[in-house]
Amino acid sequence: MSTLLRDYMPDITSLSIPQILAIRQRLVDDLAINWPTLDTRPTSVAGDMIVSPDATLIAKAEAAVAMIQSDIDLANVASGTVYNYNFVKAYLANFGVTPSAGSNATGTIALVFNSPQNYIIPANTVFTFGGSSFQITAGSGDPVVIYANDPSNRASASNQWVLHQTDVNAYTVLLPVTGAPGSSVSDGTAATYQLTIPQLIGVTAAGDFNSGKPVETIQAMATRAQQAFAAPSLVTRSGALSFLLQNWPQLVNSYVTVTGDAEMQRAGTNPLGIVDGAMDVFVKSQLQYSNGSVNIPLVYDTAQGGWTGALSLPAIPACFAVTGIFQTANFENKQSKNIIYSQSLHPTTDSLAVAFSKYEELGVFVTDQVPTNFTEANIGNVSSKSVNNVSLNVTGTYNSHMFNTSPSRSVIVSMGGAATWDGLTAVQATVLDTLTSERGTVYFIPNAPGSPSGGMIATDSPDYARMLNGLQLTVVSPNGGFTPADYAGAVFSFAFNGRSAFFTINYLYDPALTQVDTVLQASNNRPIGIDVVTRSFMPCYISRFTVNYRIGFGSTFDAVTAQTNIFNYLSSISGPDVYEEAQIGQIVMNAGASGLISVDKEATFFPSLAKTFVSQAGVQSAVPRFPTSTLQVPSNSLGLSEMNTTFVIGKNTIIFNATVR
């Protein structure tokens, strides 16, 4: 890899005068440190004989060093900036990256004669197809001998070719040919040649030629070296991408956002003012997502008039789309009004910035007909380990909660000490669900102003809605009134369930997400100080895609192929590429159309599957959605960009309208 600086030294005319003068001034300043009185002005002896020539040489050397630095930066080489081909080639060879050998184009030609005779074809005969030249493959004989029939007295069976009658006056022999890599020849293409054999009536390509593979370019080698040797760690964006490529080469797309990116919505600063490191890893393992289905119990909320519960999807960290909610034995809930809720389970991020990850918990609320198969609401007997003969009475109907996974609870309510709630004297109590191990805090307040006969649960208690929603709990002491000391230490247990039914949820998901997330979160891989969240690409659902094309009278249009190709195109768009109407035009033209008139599109970008986000404090806010008729990503919107979004469309959504002209 030895190289000399002179190999890179540019001609002085390629340097700018201001550049050299700046270096000259640098030299003057440096010299003034040790020789402050030396006259280095132009026309002085030192100025003209030392400083100016040296400045010129240094300028050339600096330019040469810059070019060397560029040549060892594989990103520059990969983008096509190469100053010294031989040096870069030797440099890449140090990494074991050498140009992969190309292969010639190959094919078979049919020589058709009008007479069954023996023929001699010189081995170096050139057959030209358009601008591509081919010769008979070496080893086929020199010269190539073609026999009229199969002579039994041949010395050898190799390299001897025999005519076969293919028509009344046509005798054909097939010969292998090779040409320069990249030469493309289609079946049946006629060749030109210099042979002077009167009986030879034509030479054509017998089948499509294999165009071979050109020798690998230096740019391609640099790209290969980059991919092979980039540090596959999760510390940097390129390292993370390299890590993903190395571990899951089957990913069709991946993208990484880090702190500072416009797409990163959950980075912040810690109390010391230091920026928290955050990295979102978006993965997409297949063009078409997998279909999943799960039965979940939902509870009828008598207050809201609908069925609700957590959209709990076991074994996958996040679903990508809900395609149907219905009750298997009763009705398909196509006309239902479904509201999906979202809340963040992330320890520090209480926003949609964790959408489409395992940290986003989804809940559902379904308004529809009353399902036939359901379990009635029930409240079991209350057991008490009471003090002072305090009793608990439970009435009402359990309405569950949009993030509850179970329609039943078996709780232990432990009364604590005195407290204040809503400005009233209260008793604080803890609630433990023995089925789910959930814990919560509720408050009991006087059941009437002035002179209460006991206490009742405050329905605005912190965990009432989540754990006891819809139930009325009252406590009574034999002492009468509501004196907290009378209730302290009382423990009650009881079970209850809401009116519940099982619903079937159909959804789309990316099966690789779990696997990728598991590996990224492993302690061996997870970087220190950087919070990594694995997410699915954010969807843009295309609800209308009507292609208006023009077609000539009498022409046919292959709608099935066009539909498939458009579907594949839309499903495979990944950043930085964006939707291009010209691609649709190309597809319909290939399918037989004479032109593309327009494409009517309706789609929506979804920052979350949910319609409502519920903060950890219980505050609900609407999730914006971004409708589009251009399929262009809205800018600066909740972290959406062309790099982390994907298009989702059903094949049947793609329809065609023809205008015959």
Q: Under the rule (CB under 8 A), what is the footprint of other proteins?
A: 12, 17, 20-21, 24, 37-39, 41-46, 48, 52, 55-56
Q: Which is nearer to other proteins, 17 or 274 (CB)?
A: 17
Q: What is the dihedral of CA 476, 479, 482, 488, to 10 degrees?
A: -80
Q: Which is nearer to other proteins, 43 or 194 (CB)?
A: 43
Q: Which is nearer to other proteins, 58 or 220 (CB)?
A: 58
Strand order in the sheet with 306-310: 321-326, 500-509, 290-301, 306-310, 360-367, 337-344, 612-614, 620-622
Nearest-approach distance from CB 57 to other proteins, in angstroms: 13
Q: What is the dihedral of CA 348, 353, 357, 361, to 10 degrees?
A: 70
Q: Which is nearer to other proteins, 38 or 530 (CB)?
A: 38
- In sequence order, the 6+-apart residues with CB closer than 8 A to the CB of 526 are 234, 520, 532
Q: Which is nearer to other proteins, 9 or 197 (CB)?
A: 9
Nearest to 256 by CA among 270, 244, 272: 244
Q: Which is nearer to other proteins, 37 or 437 (CB)?
A: 37
Phi and psi angles of residue 116, each rounded to the nearest 5 degrees, phi first = -80, 85
Nearest-approach distance from CB 55 to other proteins, in angstroms: 8
Q: Which is nearer to other proteins, 58 or 589 (CB)?
A: 58
Nearest-approach distance from CB 5 to other proteins, in angstroms: 22
Nearest to 339 by CA among 386, 375, 378, 301: 301
In angstroms, the first-to-last Cα distance of the chain is 65
Q: What is the dihedral of CA 549, 552, 554, 558, to 10 degrees?
A: -30
Nearest-approach distance from CB 24 to other proteins, in angstroms: 7
Q: Which is nearer to other proteins, 24 or 601 (CB)?
A: 24
Nearest to 319 by CA among 510, 154, 465, 480: 510
Nearest-approach distance from CB 9 to other proteins, in angstroms: 17
Nearest-approach distance from CB 56 to other proteins, in angstroms: 8
List, in sequence order, every residue forming a beta bridge with 324; answer none if it has no partner: 506
Nearest-approach distance from CB 30 to other proteins, in angstroms: 15
CB atoms within 10 A of CB 41: 11
CB atoms within 10 A of CB 482: 25
Nearest-approach distance from CB 252 to other proteins, in angstroms: 57
Residue 157 vs residues 108, 140, 386: alpha-carbon distances, Å = 20, 12, 106
Q: Are 420 and 441 in contact (CB under 8 A)?
A: no
Nearest-approach distance from CB 15 to other proteins, in angstroms: 10
Q: Which is nearer to other proteins, 62 or 460 (CB)?
A: 62
Instruction: Give 116's Cβ-side CA count (13 Å radius).
Output: 13
Nearest to 584 by CA among 557, 546, 544: 546
Q: Classify the C-alpha dihedral 271-272-274-278 as positive or negative.
A: negative
Q: Which is nearer to other proteins, 48 or 577 (CB)?
A: 48
Q: Which is nearer to other proteins, 31 or 345 (CB)?
A: 31
Instruction: Compute and round to an integer the Cα radius of gyration of the chain.
Output: 39
Nearest-approach distance from CB 38 to other proteins, in angstroms: 6
Q: Which is nearer to other proteins, 56 or 106 (CB)?
A: 56
What does the alpha-carbon distance between residue 596 and residue 583 come to, in Å, rounded to a whole number? 10
Q: Which is nearer to other proteins, 55 or 111 (CB)?
A: 55
Nearest-approach distance from CB 61 to other proteins, in angstroms: 17
Q: Which is nearer to other proteins, 50 or 597 (CB)?
A: 50
Q: Are 155 and 85 in contact (CB under 8 A)?
A: no
Residue 409 vs residues 52, 130, 343, 401, 431: alpha-carbon distances, Å = 89, 80, 21, 12, 11
What angle do helix axes 559-572 and 581-590 make, rounded to 10 degrees? 150
3-state SS, 126-148, equals EEEECCEEEEECCCCCCCEEEEC
Phi and psi angles of residue 222, each rounded to the nearest 5 degrees, phi first = -65, -40
Nearest-approach distance from CB 17 to other proteins, in angstroms: 6
Q: Residue 457 class from Cβ within 10 Å (0-12 exposed, 13-18 middle, 19+ buried)?
A: buried
Q: Which is nearer to other proteins, 39 or 73 (CB)?
A: 39
Q: Which is nearer to other proteins, 22 or 215 (CB)?
A: 22
Nearest-approach distance from CB 33 to other proteins, in angstroms: 15
Phi and psi angles of residue 167, each rounded to the nearest 5 degrees, phi first = -160, -175
Say if residue 143 is preceded by a cis peptide, omega within 30 of 0: yes
Nearest-approach distance from CB 134 to other proteins, in angstroms: 55
Nearest-approach distance from CB 40 to other proteins, in angstroms: 9
Residue 425 vs residues 70, 167, 455, 478: alpha-carbon distances, Å = 75, 109, 10, 19
- In sequence order, the 6+-apart residues with CB closer than 8 A to the CB of 416 are 427, 428, 429, 430, 488
Nearest-approach distance from CB 257 to other proteins, in angstroms: 49
Tokens 């050498």 appear where?
98
